[in-house]
Amino acid sequence: MAMELQVNTRRRIRVLVVDDSALVRSLLTRILGEDRDIEVVGAAADAFVARDKIKALRPDVLTLDVQMPRMDGLQFLRNLMRLRPMPVVMCSSLTAHGAEVTLAALELGAVDFITKPQIDLEHELSAYAGELIEKVKAAATARVRPLVDEADPVSGPSSTPTAGQARRPPGTRGSASQTSDHIIAIGASTGGTEAIRQVLSRLPADCPGVVIAQHIPRAFSQQFATRMDGCSALSVQEASDGALIQPGRAYIAPGDRHLLVERDGSHYRCRLRDEAPINRHRPSIDLLFTSMARELGEKGIGVILTGMGADGARGLQQMRANGAYTLAQDEASSVVWGMPGAAVALGAVDRVVPIEQIAAALLSTRPAPMLRGSAVS
């Protein structure tokens, strides 16, 4: 009885639903309201109504439509993150424009996004409901920072390493005409699009080849690769099956395909697979990291960034066991410290560092072998 009382009196997550469609507002309200840990405190059809309801209702999390009348979701988010930062889950359409606007929203500070529900596909609503509830709960625990107007002076591309990037693991220099001796593998989920931007934008043009698994829908991954290419000295592209992994290039897994690394003689290539999701994800970070452990051994470098869940933790553990150098984003700079925290708990991590220091740590002299089972920061 005492335990039941404790559960029933636990404070629920207060959510405000903002969408110009009455049907979508009703559906999201119904889905979220069915979870006992969530309370939908209100709904709004546009940004101006939402502004007033935020002040009156003080929600913990906002679901925000990308496209709304009077003021679009992006402008409203920009104002919100300057004046009253709070966790926001964007609700967007699976279109090229929807992808572009959503990725911009993530750069402005939105925690995550979910696609518009397919109201005419009732049989898919159960899976959609689970994803929506999971993302709202994760957002409620996220670390949200105020939006700062001035540009990050180190966020733009640079072909020259900073002082902390001047030294590299042996054999990692090269040009785009050569194959990559060492390869960097990066895995990320919630908050990862911005975290990946911060890493890639600090890497020099002659760094080892980079392969990336980010949990993202298929319609978004090409747009994401294009945005990363524009902010990095590296050449960034969506991975294609059989692509040669070269220094100075980064390859992002397509949103609905697994990405693996495969040795081909003295070369390494991207391999795309269509098997079932692993850890409920395709691409799976675990699958990418496991292929790195198998194919590269000590020539692999693994990085696990912000994200909910534990995808990638066991794969990173295998990489480290096979001699790879492994890094995790620290808790303070992670939006959600689920995946990095799981990797640290498994003893899969050599170093735990803030996001702004990961690029320098990747390119610094590799530390001496450490005792397995303890991470250092």
Residue 21: active-site member: no
Structure tokens that stand for 76 in this block: 């409203």
- Which of 35, 311, 330, 350 is catalytic? The answer is 311
CA–chain centroid gap for 209, Å, is 19
Residue 311: active-site member: yes
Instruction: With CA atoms as reference, report the closest residue to 296 among 208, 205, 237, 365.
Output: 208
Q: Calculate the CA dihedral of residues 223, 228, 231, 237 and round it to 10 degrees.
A: -100
Q: What is the DSSP letter of 172?
A: -
Instruction: With CA atoms as reference, report the closest residue to 38 among 124, 125, 140.
Output: 140
- Which of 92, 180, 189, 334 is catalytic? The answer is 189
Residue 152: active-site member: no
Q: What is the DSSP string of 79-122?
A: HHHHHS---EEEEE-SSHHHHHHHHHHHHHT--EEEEPP-TT-G
Q: Which residues of 52-69 are buried (b: 16+ CB within 10 A; e: fewer)?
A: ebbeeeebbbbbbbbbbe
**Collapsed DSSP state (helix, strand, coil) of residue 360:** helix
- Which of 35, 112, 215, 258 is catalytic? The answer is 215
**What's the CA gap between 358 and 186, in Å, rounded?**
11
Give the CA distances from residue 12 to residues 38, 50, 87, 132, in Å, rounded to whole numbers and listed in that order.
5, 20, 15, 16
**What's the CA gap between 208 and 176, in Å, rounded?**
9
Which residues are designated catalytic? 189, 215, 311
